[in-house]
Chain A
Amino acid sequence: AQSVAQPEDQVNVAEGNPLTVKCTYSVSGNPYLFWYVQYPNRGLQFLLKYITGDNLVKGSYGFEAEFNKSQTSFHLKKPSALVSDSALYFCAVRDGSGGYQKVTFGTGTKLQVIP
């Protein structure tokens, strides 16, 4: 079984400050990891993914995430937060070890950037 944990329901950060949204995962095989963002009453938008290669993954809108195998984490980061970054962020994982495996989403973290 695979699972994703987003330990914070909400993260508040001042505009211009760095932000981190935490995610830890559990999967039996090779982890394929994703971050998506959702604005109110909208579908999810893909931000970035880790499949293999460099542990630091750069994505859309200045976001990046670091894959840490020993800590089974894939935290989302941005050096300088914008008010427009305020949204709901979902971390997701699937087992990439051959064959089809569905994607499991975390419960989401609401990011509030304060002007």
Chain B
Amino acid sequence: GAVVSQHPSWVICKSGTSVKIECRSLDFQATTMFWYRQFPKQSLMLMATSNEGSKATYEQGVEKDKFLINHASLTLSTLTVTSAHPEDSSFYICSAGTSGGRTDTQYFGPGTRLTVL
């Protein structure tokens, strides 16, 4: 149980285009989803926390107009990287929790490798 999927697993795009990444909880309802960014050989950096039906809460330094997050249902959250540039190239990982903000365990998706040319 508690499986989280991400799509696509990897994407290559041209600079200036927008890319949408989907995160789905397959066998449970995720009241809270988290979006992380991971640079090579570094830890996970929390970008934002999203609760179903409400606006995402972004961490300090994360541009909310560039990284659009939508959590339209209890099983789906999307991250859209708008007007992507090479510096946005990274590994993006989502996770989902089942108890709102008090989740004890996060279930992670397999990640999406974004390369911006």
Instruction: Please list the residues of chain A having a beta carbon within 8 angstroms of any beta carbon in chain B.
Output: 32, 34, 36, 41-46, 49, 51, 90, 99-100, 102-103, 105-108
Residues on A with beta carbons closer than 8 Å to the beta carbon of B46: 102-103
Stretch at the interface among B14-22, B63-71, B74-82, B106-114: B106-114
- The reply to whether A41 and B49 contact each other, CB–CB distance below 8 Å, is no
Q: Which residues of B contact A (CB under 8 A)?
A: 4, 6, 41-44, 46, 49, 91, 93, 95, 100-102, 104-111, 113
Determine how close the nearest CB of chain B comes to the CB of A85; give it in whole angstroms: 19
Hey, which chain A residues are within 8 Å of B107, CB to CB? 46
Q: How far is the CA of A53 from the CA of B11 in the complex (A)?
A: 44
CA A44 to CA B93, docked complex, whole Å: 9
A49 & B113 in contact (Cβ 8 Å cutoff): no
B-chain residues with CB within 8 Å of residue A36 when the two chains form the complex:
108
Which residue of B49, B104, B111 is within 8 Å of A51 (Cβ)?
B104
List A contacts of B100 (CB < 8 A).
Answer: 100
Residue of B43, B108, B111 touching A41 (CB-CB under 8 A): B111
Is A43 in contact with B108, judged by CB distance below 8 angstroms? yes
Once the chains bind, are B104 and A43 in contact (CB under 8 Å)? no
CA distance A42 to B100 in the complex (A): 25
Q: How far is the CA of A36 from the CA of B95 in the complex (A)?
A: 12
Tell which of A42, A100, A108 touches B102, judged by Cβ atoms closer than 8 Å: A100
What are 26 A-B contacts with C-beta separation under 8 Å? A32-B104, A41-B111, A41-B113, A42-B110, A42-B111, A43-B4, A43-B93, A43-B110, A44-B93, A44-B108, A45-B108, A46-B105, A46-B107, A46-B108, A49-B105, A90-B44, A99-B101, A100-B100, A100-B101, A100-B102, A102-B46, A103-B106, A105-B43, A105-B44, A108-B41, A108-B43
A107–B93 Cα distance when bound, in Å, is 16
Q: Is B105 a contact partner of A107 (Cβ separation < 8 A)?
A: no
Q: What is the chain B residue whose CB lies nearest that of A101?
A: B101
| A107→B42 contact, CB < 8 A | yes
